[in-house]
Amino acid sequence: MSSTAHYPGVVLPTAEEEIWRYSRIEELSLDSFVAGSVENKVDAPADVASIVTQGAAVGECGVAMPIPVDAFAEINAIHCSGAHADIITVKTVRGKSYASPVVITRTLSVSGVLAAPRLIIDAAENSEVTVVEHFLSSDDVSSLIAPVVEIRAAQSARVTYIAINELGNKTWKIAHQQSLGERDSTTRLFTVALGGDYARVRTEARLVGIGATTQQVALYFADKTQMHDFRTLQTHIAPRTSSDLLFKGAVQDTAKSVYTGLIRIEHEAHGSQAYQTNRNLTLSHGAWAESVPNLEIETNDVKCSHASTVGPIDDEQRFYLESRGIHPDIAERLVVLGFFNEVLERLPQIDVVSGLRAKVAAKLHAGAQ
């Protein structure tokens, strides 16, 4: 247990705690960072420009995460009320659907800083909006980003959030995504993780209104010494709520990934359904992936399923393609891209997403076995 000079009262977790098991938390020393900021670029076409506020007040925080869930959410909360506050809000108007996505690019360009930006998406009743948060840093930036996104979808609102991690290979990311779905709302949380040194996302979808629906979908691909770490929670509080989670990842070289997921169906949430699928490809002998699905069900009359796999590329699939005269390296590339297609096809077809397939392909190298 170590306390830090910069964040009095904040106690970092240890790998002894189940939710930090397998993580690289023990390597982290907050003393090596000073509080800093990212550079923000907000791309909001005319129809969405009016709903975006940069530099919002700390009072806006807490719509979906009133109390910080761990040390890094605490650090983010401390930033929000201090000199390095970086709060962007997207607040929709009741009944309005916004065709253009809001695209926020967060760039870390300095080493040795801890940046903790916050994004708040507050969708009013029966409104619809898509927000992209794109994280970037160059390969020489050795810093830590601890972003928080809070999403509230009021009755019948429809929110799509897409996080894209293209951080450099020395940057750490410890992120939180927290959504709150009210009656008949739909929240969709997408994550595409290609970058970072150690990149962790804790994503929790809370279904608090009857009939609320959520989807959590991720694509992650780590190579070299990268590690991607996901902790997912599908929390059903109200009756007849539904959640669907699909996380697909690959590890190459000596990269690692961790997925742990919990479906929690609380006492009142009868008539709910929850699905959770995590699939992992290990593309090199030295690569490692862990997958731990969990269920906690406190009521009857629910439909739940979970599935999880970790393994190399299927030999039969590889042979099928090779039998068409395709070189094994290309066959492997096709199989991996096919594996990720299921996620890419679910993503909204917007500009920032359309280049992702090529970025995944570029990361795949020949002869990974």
Partner 1 sequence: MSTLKIENLVAGIPGKQILNGINLTLNSGEVHAIMGPNGAGKSTLSGVVMGKPGYVVHSGSVTLDGEDLLALPAWQRAQAGLHLIMQYPTEVPGVHLDDVIREAYTSRGRNTSTLDAEIVAEAARIHFDMALVERSMNVDLSGGEKKRNETLQLALLKPKFAILDELDSGLDIDALRDCARRVEAATQEDNLGVLVITHYARLLEELRPDVVHILAAGKIVKSGGPELADELETTGYAGLTQ
| Beta pairing class for 102-108 and 39-43 | antiparallel
Regarding 353 and contact with partner 1 (CB under 8 A), the answer is no
Token pair 């770490």 in the structure block, residue: 229
Regarding 253 and contact with partner 1 (CB under 8 A), the answer is no
Q: Among residues 273 and 317, whose Cβ is nearest to partner 1?
A: 317
Query: What is the three-class DSSP state of 338?
Result: helix
Regarding 360 and contact with partner 1 (CB under 8 A), the answer is no
> CA dist 246 to 87, 124, 161, 232, 343, Å?
29, 27, 15, 11, 8
Q: Among residues 59 and 367, whose Cβ is nearest to partner 1?
A: 367
Give the range of 46-54, 141-149, 157-165, 314-322 binding partner 1 by CB under 8 A: 314-322
Using CB under 8 A, which of 5, 67, 300, 323 touches partner 1? Answer: 323
Which residues does residue 296 pair with via DSSP β-bridges, in sequence order?
264
Count of residues engaged in binding partner 1, rule: CB under 8 A:
23
Regarding 338 and contact with partner 1 (CB under 8 A), the answer is yes
Regarding 349 and contact with partner 1 (CB under 8 A), the answer is no
Distance of CA 261 to the CA centre of its chain: 13
Q: Among residues 224 and 327, whose Cβ is nearest to partner 1?
A: 327
Q: What residues numbered 189-248 form the site for partner 1, per CB under 8 A?
A: none
Q: Following DSSP, what letter does each residue of 328-347 receive, concatenated?
A: HHHHHHHHHHHHHHHHHTTS
Least distance CB 314 / partner 1 (angstroms): 8
Regarding 55 and contact with partner 1 (CB under 8 A), the answer is no
Least distance CB 312 / partner 1 (angstroms): 13
| CB count in 10 Å sphere of residue 275 | 17
> CA dist 79 to 3, 34, 114, 148, Å?
17, 12, 10, 11
Regarding 308 and contact with partner 1 (CB under 8 A), the answer is no
Least distance CB 338 / partner 1 (angstroms): 3
Residues 6+ apart with CB under 8 A from 8: none
Regarding 316 and contact with partner 1 (CB under 8 A), the answer is yes
- Nearest CA to 253 out of 365, 132, 352 is that of 365
Regarding 110 and contact with partner 1 (CB under 8 A), the answer is no
Backbone angles phi, psi at 243, to 5 degrees: -135, 145
Using CB under 8 A, which of 45, 99, 320, 365 touches partner 1? Answer: 320
Residues found near partner 1 in the complex (CB under 8 A) = 315-317, 319-328, 330-331, 334-335, 337-342
